Structures are given as structure tokens and as C-alpha cells.
């Protein structure tokens, strides 16, 4: 008997379209849940007044000692004030160690000026790096890491300013066992950009850090499904890092390896050493992280749009070699691509107008972003800067997919003026100088960064309200 030619196929294009539309709508709902977790957590953590830690008034011998490590390279924006905030910590037992790679570093005169201003602080500077890999920050940290008096280390980037109570509150979190029972072994701070520069790239970077980045950073740490840490301001035990071998595989406390490579030097081969160290603490030691209730104020200086794009390209390529699946999904967590495909899905399922859905989508999206901004800053973008903020926000959102598309097809990055090639798991190797890249050729007209001299240094006004 011949088969019935009128019988419909089991899977039709319309059925596939219907299924994909439902999947897309589900993903949209999941992402909105994550965004709202970030927004509500930001409200809860950062809108309430931060109480003074009881340890601030204790005698030095009754609280854990902390070694504050500040690796430096060149004249970062607002450098003097960033570093000076370290001296103002309301904590009775800490030391400060600055470090530079060589005696010619432009940051050294700034450090010497601070040591003269605070002669009784006990702060010191270590000149001379110890090369253990291609990562200059790790090379710069090896000696202060080894010579620090205390087991608790607070590693702060040079472009970060912190409030006076930040250290005491971070130590409280680090030394208190949470109700969940998992020991907290790393405390970090969400960065908030302080932008006084008038360049477009700086404004776009500020809009990114203070909305999308902060929202997702806070949300992922609140959900605590995996490690999510950047190295602007991290507090941890040296004894924990000394147990890490970089494998990111669980091992017991008495684990012994045939390899002698452990501790900070293991991470000199990575570009994102802060993220890998945090992942090691999470996966190798089975310990957890927590966000402080304080903020790391990140001073943003002059930055062209080209600088901003290359910075985003670099970190997408780093993530691609560390968490490929998350990197592939990244465009579908951004407002433009996610909104576009969801508009098609909603129209397919319910016949809703594309333009109506997108208008509601972008309106709701920026409301959440502004809410996160207000939670961190204590106010909405200031009058007089609102127009430039919204323009920068729109540019940032519009560039996400083109930047991602360019980034995922390459493996070469530029970092601190040198070129590197990304390898598996975030490792990097230097590459020989070559011709200008295609992106550089296209974007040269947008501006080129230049490192300021000590005579050109200008502080930025920063509010910690």
C-alpha cells in the first residue's frame, strides 16, 4: 500500500518557529529575573547607611592584622588620592606596601610624596619586580606578597579609592561564618566609575560599569552559582592562595601534589589572574566569596572610544578562553540582541507589534539600569550630565553585538601597550610586534591613548556619599 501523500510531516517549519519562540521567551524571562536580582540586591546592600565596624575601635592586638598591597605602574588617574585613601582606613592593625617594577616608574614620586606626608604610618615601597610569568601585575606582587607581615592580604588596584570604613567591614565579613555554613575566604567590592573626563570613551566606560556591569556583577554574586570576581579590590588569606595549584579542581586541605608550583606565582601565566585566583579558592578549596557593603570607586581618566572598544574586545577574548559557553551566550544577555529576537518571538506567538514591544523593552531596561546606578551613587546621574549619560548608555548598548562579533573571531589582545595571544584557560603568551591590526586601522581616527607625565597629573573630585 502506498503511503498517504496528504499526511502532514511531524515537524513543520511553523512548529520549529513556535518552539524557538517559546525557548526565546523563556530565556528572556530568566534574564529579567537575573537583572531584578541585581537591582534589588543593590538596593538592599548599598542604599542603607553602612554602620561603623566595632573592630574600628578595638586595640590592635585584638583584631587580625591586614597587609594592604598596592601594585603600581605609571600615572593612573587620580593616583595620589586613590593611594591616600588607604592611609585613612579606620582599622587598628594594618600595614601598607606599595610596589613598582623599577626605579623609573612614574608612580614612584607620588608614593614618595605620600610617605613624606604620613611618616609614622609604617608604609613602605618595594622597588623591583620578580618575573614569574607574563602578567606584570603578578610579577609586581610577588615580593610584597612574600614580605607581607600578615596573612590577610588586601590587594587594591591603583585606580581605586575606598571609604575609610571599607577595610574594617571587609575583615568582619571575612572572619564571620555565614548562616549557610560555607566559609567566606574572599571579600571583594563592586566597582563604581567616577568620570570627570569629557572624552566619549570615558563616558561610555562609565555608563557600562555603573549600570550593566554592576547589575550583573551583583546579581551573579547574589545567586552564587559560581565564582564571579574581578580584581579591583580583593581581600583574602595568603595561606589559602598558597594552597592553590591553578588546576581549579577540588582537593582536600591535606592535598599534596608532585608539582611544587603553588601560590601566587602559579597565576603569572594568566591575564585575568584575579578571576583565576578567586575560581581556585571556590573550586579547589571549596570556599566561598562575598561582596562587601562598600564600593570600590574606580577613577576613569581620558579614554577614546577606540580605547573603550579595545578594552571590551580584550576581556571578551579572555572570557572566551575561560568560559566559552557563557561568552557565546553573552550577546543574548544584552538589551539590543535580546530585545530584537524576543520581539520576533512575541510577534510570532501573540501578534504583538515589534515597535511596541521594543519601546517597552528598552524603557524597562534603562529604568532598571538607572535604579542600580542610584543604589550605588546615592542619586541619579547629576543634572547637566544626564544627556551625555543617556547618549553614552545608548552607544554602549548599540556597540555590544559588533564588539562581541569582532572579539570572538580573534585571540590576540593588547594589554599595557604589549600584544599577547590567548591560550586555553586564560593563559597568554607575548607576540612579536607586527603591523597595525585591522581594528586599529579602522579606529585610529577616534584617538590614541598617551600616558601623562608627572607634571600633567591632575586630581579628580570624588564623592563617597
Tell me which residues are annotated as active site.
274
C-alpha span between 47 and 293 (Å, rounded): 10
Are 72 and 98 spatial neighbours (Cβ–Cβ below 8 Å)? yes
Collapsing DSSP states into helix, strand and coil, what is residue 458? coil
Range 235-253 burial, b when 16+ CB lie within 10 A, else e: bbbbebbebbbbeeeebee
Helix (H) or strand (E) holding 356: helix 354-377
Helix segments in 47-134, DSSP class H: 79-87, 108-117
List, in sequence order, the alpha helices (H) in 74-213.
79-87, 108-117, 136-147, 166-174, 200-208
What cell numbers appear for 34 in the block?
A: 537575573
Beta-strand relationship, 94-100 and 66-71: parallel
In whole angstroms, what is the distance from residue 12 CA to residue 15 CA?
5
Query: Three-state SS for 291?
Result: strand
What number of residues does the chain have?
465
What cell was used for 173?
565579613
Question: Could you tell me which of 229, 233, 270, 264 has the C-alpha nearest to residue 69?
Answer: 233
Q: Angle at the Cα of 222 (from 170 to 27), degrees rounded to 5? A: 155
State whether residue 298 is helix, strand or coil.
strand
CA-based R_g, the chain, Å: 24
Q: Which helix (H) or strand (E) holds 237?
A: strand 233-237
Taking the C-alpha atoms of residue 418 and residue 65, their distance in angstroms, rounded to an integer, is: 37
| Tally of helices (H runs) and strands (E runs) in the chain | 15, 11
Which is it for the CA torsion 176, 181, 183, 188, positive or negative? negative
| Strand positions, DSSP E, 27-183 | 66-71, 94-100, 124-127, 152-156, 160-161
By C-alpha distance, which of 453, 464, 349 is closest to 75? 453
Question: Which DSSP state fits 427?
Answer: B
Residue environment code for 195-207, b if the CB has 16+ CB neighbours within 10 A, otherwise e: bbbebbbbbbbbb
Amino acid at each position: 500500500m502506498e503511503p498517504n501523500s496528504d499526511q502532514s510531516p511531524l515537524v513543520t517549519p511553523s512548529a520549529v518557529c513556535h518552539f524557538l519562540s517559546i525557548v526565546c521567551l523563556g530565556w528572556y524571562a530568566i534574564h529579567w529575573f537575573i537583572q531584578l536580582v541585581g537591582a534589588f540586591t543593590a538596593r538592599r546592600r548599598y542604599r542603607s547607611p553602612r554602620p561603623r565596624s566595632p573592630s574600628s575601635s578595638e586595640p590592635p592586638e585584638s583584631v587580625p592584622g591586614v597587609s594592604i598591597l598596592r601594585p603600581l605602574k605609571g600615572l593612573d588617574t587620580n593616583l595620589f588620592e586613590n593611594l591616600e585613601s588607604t592611609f585613612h582606613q579606620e582599622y587598628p592593625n594594618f600595614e601598607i606596601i606599595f610596589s613598582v617594577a623599577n626605579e623609573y616608574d612614574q608612580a614612584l614620586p607620588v608614593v614618595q610624596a605620600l610617605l613624606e606626608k604620613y611618616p609614622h604610618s609604617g608604609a613602605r615601597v618595594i622597588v623591583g619586580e620578580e618575573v614569574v610569568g607574563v602578567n606584570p601585575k603578578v610579577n609586581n606582587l610577588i615580593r610584597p606578597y612574600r614580605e607581607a607581615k600578615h596573612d590577610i592580604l588586601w590587594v587594591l588596584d591603583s585606580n581605586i579609592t575606598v571609604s575609610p570604613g571599607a577595610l574594617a567591614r571587609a575583615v568582619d565579613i571575612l572572619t564571620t561564618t555565614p548562616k549557610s555554613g560555607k566559609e567566606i575566604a574572599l571579600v571583594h567590592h563592586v566597582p563604581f566609575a567616577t568620570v570627570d573626563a569629557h572624552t566619549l570613551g570615558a563616558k561610555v566606560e562609565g555608563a557600562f560599569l555603573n549600570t550593566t556591569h554592576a547589575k550583573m556583577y551583583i546579581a551573579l554574586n547574589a545567586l552564587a552559582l559560581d565564582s564571579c570576581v574581578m580584581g579591583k579590590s580583593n581581600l583574602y588569606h595568603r595561606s589559602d592562595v598558597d594552597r592553590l595549584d591553578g588546576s581549579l579542581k577540588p582537593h582536600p586541605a591535606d592535598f599534596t601534589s608532585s608539582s611544587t608550583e603553588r601560590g601566587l606565582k602559579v597565576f603569572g601565566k594568566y591575564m585575568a589572574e584575579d578571576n583565576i585566583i578567586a575560581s581556585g579558592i571556590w573550586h579547589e578549596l571549596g570556599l566561598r566569596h562575598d561582596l562587601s557593603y562598600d564600593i570600590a570607586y574606580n577613577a576613569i581618566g581620558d579614554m577614546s572610544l577606540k580605547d573603550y572598544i579595545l578594552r571590551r574586545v580584550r576581556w571578551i577574548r579572555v572570557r572566551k578562553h575561560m568560559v566559552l559557553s557563557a561568552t557565546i551566550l553573552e550577546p543574548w544577555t544584552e538589551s539590543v540582541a535580546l530585545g530584537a529576537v524576543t520581539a520576533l518571538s512575541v510577534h510570532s506567538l501573540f501578534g504583538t507589534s515589534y515597535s511596541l514591544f521594543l519601546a517597552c523593552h528598552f524603557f524597562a531596561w534603562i529604568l532598571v539600569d538607572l535604579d542600580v546606578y542610584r543604589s550605588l551613587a546615592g542619586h541619579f546621574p547629576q543634572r547637566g550630565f544626564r544627556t551625555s549619560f543617556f547618549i553614552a548608555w545608548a552607544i554602549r548598548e548599540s556597540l555590544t553585538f559588533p564588539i562581541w562579533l569582532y572579539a570572538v573571531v580573534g585571540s590576540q589582545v593588547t594589554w599595557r601597550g604589549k600584544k599577547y595571544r590567548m591560550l586555553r584557560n586564560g593563559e597568554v603568551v607575548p607576540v612579536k610586534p607586527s603591523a597595525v591590526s585591522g581594528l586599529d586601522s579602522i579606529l585610529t581616527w577616534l584617538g590614541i591613548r598617551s600616558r601623562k607625565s608627572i607634571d600633567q597629573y591632575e586630581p579628580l573630585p570624588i564623592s563617597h556619599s
